[in-house]
Structure 1
Amino acid sequence: MKKIIRMIGEEVVSVLSKIDEEEALMVSTLLNKSKRIFVYGDGRSGLMGKAFAMRLMHGGYTVYVVGETITPSIEEDDLLILISGSGSSDMMYDFAKKAWNIGGNVILITTNRDSKIASVSHHVLVIPAATKYRRKVEPETIQPLGNQFDQSVHLVLDGIIIHSLQMNETLAQDMLKRHANLE
């Protein structure tokens, strides 16, 4: 068991070491410039997106998860963040086009810079991890499906939030006030 856990950790460290810092900094910059943030991903990428949205809310950002009942319409100058390992979801492609046409900014977090969704995104943050598709350019992994991508996305987005909050000087006490208290 310890060997497997160590190997997973080493894989993720390897992926994280290859993140383009400028791409990650652009995400941070756009988070701090946007009046509202919308986050979406399918499946486990969606779960990573919801965790990201929760942390943004704790940090004082106005954030919504696309598809939830209380999510309003996206508007000009809003930010749409899409998380897709393959970058090929038809629905996310349509979301990106709609946000673009309205005047919103679109960020795609993916493994595939040349994907369909990337072609209609303003910015792309590449996570050079393995997905369930196991394309030739993806790293080797002992993990099934898109585990390596999901884990790496989670950690990269946490790093982006920490950096973004440091830029805004948000205090930990303020974050605690916004943490759920009906639990």
Structure 2
Amino acid sequence: MEEYERNIIPHIEAIYETFTELEKNIADYFIHYDGKEDLVSKKVAKRLYVSEASLSRFAKKCGYTGYREFLFSYQQGRNASPHPHASHHIKKVLNSYQELLNKSYSLMDEEQIIRIVDILSKKKRIYVYGKGSSGLVGMEMKLRFMRIGANIEAITDEHIMKMNSVLLDDECAVIGISISGKTEAVIESLKIAKKCGAKVILMTAHAEKQFLDFCDEVMLFALKENLEQGKAISPQFPILIMVDMLYSQMIQLDEYRRKMLHEYTLEALDER
């Protein structure tokens, strides 16, 4: 699995809630497209009972100059990853993970990763807020980043999130993790953190304009149907991919020192 395809579906899913009802109808068509129908603009417009101008506006909202550029990118990104020797339920799991890996690659913004790591490396204290599966990712993030010298704490209790606000100032960074972007305790705590002068980073699967009012960075991770309920695979997986990217970049900032710190922490654990 060394080759990954840029796929625009995760971008469509990430900005889905910003679409009008008509645009959501178009988005649904491309998200669930089965590959059997012609995607020429006239035929798609007729099929969806929309105008070609609506298709063009949809394409521009997705970040393209027009429908033709959107369609080219969309078709380039479509790829199948069959597993011929696995049973049906195993194929389903493997394909789900492969899909999330490809989507993560599509959403990955290296410049943003560098910006976020720059924030984390300069702040004296880092706090990670999350509940449920997101909280477990926060705990994993704490354990990993502690090993390379970060002063980091993970908080999963909403009451402690509120109390923690008294410790926040401009020397802190606060990371909130919420798959839906609607976890009230996390979102409200991030708003408070911003008012306290902390740098605020939200990791989510949904992009909304309102996040920009209180977040310095919004880092998107991949989304899959029923991911939040964990029905098919662990909802932590796509978040951990992004955490690993941040971790890898942070090590590169001062590779020798951070690797030595990592070794020291492992030695300390062995001595117990």
Q: TM-score, normalised by structure 2?
A: 0.56
Shift of 1:130: 2.3
Residue 11 of structure 1 contacts residue 148 of structure 1 at CA under 8 Å; is this kept in 2? no
C-alpha distance 55-146 of structure 1, shift in aligned 2 (>3 A)? farther
CA distance in 1: counterparts of 2:124 and 2:208, whole angstroms:
28
Q: Which runs of 4+ in 1 moved over 3 A?
A: 115-119, 131-134, 143-149, 179-183
Match status 1:98 vs 2:192: yes
- Of structures 1 and 2, the larger Rg is shown by 2
Matched position secondary structure for 2:143: helix
Match status 1:6 vs 2:6: no
Matched position secondary structure for 2:263: helix
| Alignment length (residue pairs) | 175
Structure 1 unmatched runs, 5+: 135-142
The residue aligned with 1:176 is: 263
Q: Which has the higher helix share?
A: 2
Residue 135 of structure 2 contacts residue 177 of structure 2 at CA under 8 Å; is this kept in 1? yes
Task: Choose from 19, 43, 62 the match for 2:132.
Answer: 43
**1:43-62 equivalences in 2 (<5 Å):** 43-62=132-151
The residue aligned with 2:239 is: 153
Residue 130 of structure 2 contacts residue 156 of structure 2 at CA under 8 Å; is this kept in 1? no
CA distance in 2: counterparts of 1:23 and 1:177, whole angstroms:
30
Residue 111 of structure 1 contacts residue 128 of structure 1 at CA under 8 Å; is this kept in 2? yes
Matched position secondary structure for 2:243: helix
CA distance in 1: counterparts of 2:178 and 2:212, whole angstroms:
10
Task: Choose from 168, 174, 186 the match for 1:80.
Answer: 174
Residue 100 of structure 2 contacts residue 224 of structure 2 at CA under 8 Å; is this kept in 1? no
C-alpha distance 54-133 of structure 1, shift in aligned 2 (>3 A)? closer
Match status 1:26 vs 2:115: yes
Matched position secondary structure for 1:14: helix
Shift of 1:67: 4.9
- Aligned-residue CA RMSD in angstroms? 3.0
What percent of counterpart residues are identical? 22
Q: Which has the higher contact order (CA 8 A, sep 6+)?
A: 1
Shift of 1:96: 0.9
Q: TM-score, normalised by structure 1?
A: 0.81
Shift of 1:119: 3.7
CA distance in 1: counterparts of 2:225 and 2:177, whole angstroms:
12
The residue aligned with 1:162 is: 248
> 1:65-103 deviations in whole A, cap 9, x for unaligned?
1257x9982222200000101111221122112111111
C-alpha distance 144-160 of structure 1, shift in aligned 2 (>3 A)? same
Match status 1:125 vs 2:219: yes
